[in-house]
Amino acid sequence: MPENAAKALVLLFYSELFRKLEAAVECIGSTYVDHNDEKAGRGQEVLRAHVAAMRQTFPDFRIKIEDMIAEGDRVVTRVVGNGTHTGVWMQIEPTGRIVHVKGINIDRIVDGRIIEHWGEADTIGMLMQMGVDPFAGRLNTSMRSP
For residue 120, give the CATH number of its domain.
Answer: 3.10.450.50
What's the structural domain count of the chain?
A: 1
Report the 10 Å Cβ neighbour count for 23.
Answer: 13
Beta strands in 4-97 (DSSP E): 28-34, 62-71, 74-84
Range of the domain at 115: 3-134
Residue 92, judged by CB atoms within 10 A of its CB (0-12, 13-18, 19+), counts as: middle
| Model pLDDT, residue 143 | 53
pLDDT at 38 over 80: no
Has residue 145 been placed in a domain?
no
Chain segment 71-83, per-residue pLDDT in tens: 999 999 999 999 9
Chain segment 112-136, per-residue pLDDT in tens: 999 999 999 999 999 999 998 888 7
CA atoms of 66 and 53, how far apart (whole Å): 24
| Model pLDDT, residue 56 | 93
Has residue 90 been placed in a domain?
yes
Has residue 13 been placed in a domain?
yes
Has residue 144 been placed in a domain?
no
At residue 100, the 3 state secondary structure works out as strand
Has residue 99 been placed in a domain?
yes
- Compute CA distances 67 → 4, 10, 114, 131, whole Å: 14, 12, 18, 29
Task: Give the chain's mean pLDDT.
Answer: 89
Q: Quote the radius of gyration of the chain (alpha carbons, Å).
A: 17
pLDDT at 95 over 90: yes
Has residue 91 been placed in a domain?
yes
At residue 2, the 3 state secondary structure works out as coil
CA atoms of 90 and 125, how far apart (whole Å): 14
Residue 15, judged by CB atoms within 10 A of its CB (0-12, 13-18, 19+), counts as: middle
Has residue 20 been placed in a domain?
yes
**Percentage with pLDDT > 90 across the chain:** 64
Predicted structure pTM score: 0.85
Has residue 71 been placed in a domain?
yes
